[in-house]
Amino acid sequence: MHDGSVVRLYKQDNDYDIEDRHAALEATSHYTREGKILTGLLYIQRGQRGASRSAGYGTTSAEFDG
């Protein structure tokens, strides 16, 4: 980076299950303890169509079909 700082990107292991809510919370906690910031798709709950509507956020332009 222009200020000399470094950004390191790592790919998640292939055995990581994005549908495991507990694993997502544990991964977030683990990297926080190491002083790292975890980004990207951490968790998805397939089959939940229109969740934004039921939460009162209106409609979405695209929904995940899973």
Which residue carries 């990297």 as its tokens?
A: 31
Which whole-number Å values give the CA distances from 56 to 53, 62, 63, 64, 65, in the listed order?
5, 16, 15, 18, 20
pTM: 0.57
SS3 at position 26: helix
Task: Judge whether 28 and 42 are in contact, CB under 8 Å.
Answer: yes
Tens of each residue's pLDDT in the chain, 66 residues? 899 998 888 888 888 899 999 999 999 999 999 999 888 888 898 887 665 555 555 544 455 554
The ranges assigned to domains in the chain are 15-46
DSSP state of 15: T
What is the model's pLDDT at position 57? 53
Rounded Cα distance between 34 and 32, Å, is 5
